[in-house]
Each structure stands twice: as C-alpha cells, then as structure tokens.
C-alpha cells in the first residue's frame, strides 16, 4: 500500500536530548508513526515504533502525544500503549463516502492506454452483458474501439469472462441458464458446457481472452476489478487487431491489464476486509 517511506534517523535513539527537526521532517516522522499501525497489532508501544523507524525515543514520544492530542491516536492508560484514534476512522469514512468507480478508474485506464498504445475499456456487469462505461482510444494505428455504453454478451467478451471470474461452475450455470449463446463470429462459444470448461482456465490464470469471439480480427484481454467487499465490481480490458495482439503480446497486455485492475482494486479498498469488518 504505497512505497516505503524513508526517515532520517536520530544519532542517539535512547540517550541524551533529541536533535531539533524541521517542520517537513516532523511531518514525515508523524506519518511514519501512523503507518506503523498498518499491521495486525491493534496497539503499539512507543519504544517498538521508535526502534522500527530509527527515532530518538523522546522524539517518538512527542509525536505520539501530538497525534493523540489531534485524535489520530488514543493512549491506553492501563499499559501506556497506543491504538488508532477516532480521527483515522473519520477520514476513512470520508474516503469511503467519496469512492466512485468511474472517477478513480479514469486516470488509471488512460495511463494504461497511453503506455500500451491500445484501446482500453472499463466495463460493468448488467444482466447477461458487459457494458462499457469508459472507453479510451489507443495511440497506435488501426484502432478497433468500442463505443461508450456498448453491450457485449458475457459469453463472447473478455470483459464478460473477467466479470464472472469469481463464480464457480454451479454459479456460472445459474447465471447463464437463460443465455442464448448466439454466435457473433465463427469463434464464438455457443454452448454453456464449453463456456464453463473455458472459465476454469480464466480463473486459474486470473485474466480472460476474447479471441475474435465478438468481432473478426479483434483480440481482447481483460482483468477483474474487486471492490472492498471482495466482489468483482468491473473489468478492465485492452483490445487490438490480431496481427498486433498475438503470442507474447497477449501475455504482456494481460499482465498490464491485471496490474491496472489490481491498482484500481486497492484504491477501492480491496484487500482490507479485516479493516472494514467484511
């Protein structure tokens, strides 16, 4: 969750007066103290955190007291340890209230399209279709771009398969029980049994492929986006013509899509179920 911060260490962690520090250095150290509570321990000792961060003990004590005065930490009067304070919860609640898939995803999908040069879609599940809610055209020649709001059946789209990636065989059969499995091309999967069998590979590799199943000459890879509850909330797909998206390039684009989807998932709170209580 973010890069590891570095801190200027005090020369004498436990003995003598703490050296003076600049405002920026104090802020950096205070953030370091808060980030020290990211682990599983609900309470931390000042001495342990000061040692981890390489801080003078008196410096750490001063930071703990200041953060407690501001409501970011709370002191356990029985043992002198500290836990996170209500101000952290209030900020987290504000963050959750401001979560918006489209807004958070926008810079990520634009970056992916720029880096890979191919068209990128953000899609969500609606009925038996994957519907595009954000489309970014790639920078390379000959782009086969999906239009905003376009619906593609789940059984013949990479995004559709990614949106179904968490469903087991029984759930897939229930979800697609009424699907007509209409063929859009000669490559479209046209029966439920074949689709369910193919989805085993999708679940194993963590990404999905549409190999000309919805449109001749078009190859698409997609990865799932998870929300803070662990549910698949969306899919990020990258598409291009088959002459350019082939062999190793498919794997490269799939890896890039997964990295972007994972980053978006983290920003949506995925992986912090124990924090949210989910």
145-178 confidence digits (pLDDT tens) = 667 778 899 999 999 999 999 999 999 999 999 9
Region 241-249: what's the mean pLDDT? 93
79-136 confidence digits (pLDDT tens) = 999 999 988 888 876 665 656 888 899 999 999 999 999 999 999 998 999 999 899 9
186-240 confidence digits (pLDDT tens) = 999 999 999 999 999 999 999 999 999 999 999 999 999 999 889 999 999 999 9
Please state, in angstroms and rounded to a whole number, the distance separating the CA atoms of residues 215 and 152.
Answer: 10
Check: CB of residue 124 under 8 Å from CB of residue 178: no
Nearest by Cα to 212 from 236, 243, 235, 234: 243
Please state, in angstroms and rounded to a whole number, the distance separating the CA atoms of residues 121 and 110.
Answer: 10
Sorting pLDDT into bands at 50, 70 and 90, what band is 142?
low
Residue 145 has a pLDDT of: 60
CA distances from residue 242 to 60, 195, 199, 211, 220 in whole angstroms, order as listed: 58, 22, 22, 8, 9
Number of other CB atoms surrounding residue 64 within 10 Å: 23
Q: What is the pTM of this model?
A: 0.68
Identify the sign of the CA torsion 271, 257, 192, 175: positive
Residue 15 has a pLDDT of: 47
Average pLDDT of the residues of the chain: 86
Nearest by Cα to 252 from 209, 189, 201, 202: 209
- Read off the tokens for 7: 């801190």
Residue 170 has a pLDDT of: 97
- Read off the tokens for 31: 């953030």
Instruction: Give the angle 217-222-224 at the CA atoms, nearest 5°.
Output: 160
Please state, in angstroms and rounded to a whole number, the distance separating the CA atoms of residues 224 and 262.
Answer: 8
Residue 19 in this model has a pLDDT that exceeds 70:
no
Check: CB of residue 137 under 8 Å from CB of residue 175: no
> 77-102: string of b/e by CB count within 10 Å (b at 16+)?
eeeebbebbeebeeeeeeeeeeeebe
Region 13-33: what's the mean pLDDT? 69
Q: Rounded to the nearest 10 degrees, how much is the dihedral formed by the CA atoms of 60, 62, 66, 68?
A: 60
In the numeric block, the tokens 């190793």 are attached to 248
Region 247-271: what's the mean pLDDT? 95
Residue 148 has a pLDDT of: 75
Alpha-helical regions (H) of the chain? 23-35, 46-53, 57-69, 86-97, 101-116, 158-163, 169-175, 192-205, 248-267, 273-276
Q: Rounded to the nearest 10 degrees, how much is the dihedral formed by the CA atoms of 238, 240, 242, 248?
A: -50
């Amino acid at each position: 969750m973010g890069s590891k911060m570095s801190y200027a260490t005090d020369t004498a962690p436990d003995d003598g007066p703490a050296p003076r520090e600049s405002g920026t250095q104090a802020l950096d150290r205070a953030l370091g103290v808060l980030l020290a509570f990211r682990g599983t321990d609900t309470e931390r000792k000042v001495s342990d955190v000061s040692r981890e961060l390489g801080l003078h003990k008196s410096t750490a004590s001063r930071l703990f007291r200041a953060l407690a005065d501001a409501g970011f930490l709370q002191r356990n009067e029985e043992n002198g340890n500290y836990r996170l304070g209500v101000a952290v919860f209030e900020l987290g609640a504000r963050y959750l209230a401001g979560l918006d898939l489209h807004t958070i995803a926008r810079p990520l999908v634009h970056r992916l399209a720029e880096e890979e040069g191919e068209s990128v879609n953000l899609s969500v599940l609606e009925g038996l279709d994957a519907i595009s809610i954000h489309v970014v055209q790639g920078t390379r020649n000959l782009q086969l771009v999906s239009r905003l709001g376009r619906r593609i059946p789940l059984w013949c789209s990479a995004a559709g398969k990614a949106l179904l990636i968490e469903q087991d065989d029984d759930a897939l059969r229930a979800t697609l029980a009424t699907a007509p499995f209409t063929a859009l091309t000669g490559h479209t999967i046209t029966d439920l049994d074949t689709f369910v069998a193919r989805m085993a590979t999708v679940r194993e590799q963590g990404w999905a492929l549409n190999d000309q199943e919805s449109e001749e000459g078009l190859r698409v890879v997609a990865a799932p986006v998870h929300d803070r509850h662990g549910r698949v909330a969306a899919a990020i797909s990258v598409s291009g013509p088959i002459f350019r998206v082939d062999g190793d390039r498919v794997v490269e684009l799939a890896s890039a899509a997964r990295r972007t989807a994972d980053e978006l998932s983290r920003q949506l709170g995925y992986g912090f179920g124990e924090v949210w209580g989910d």
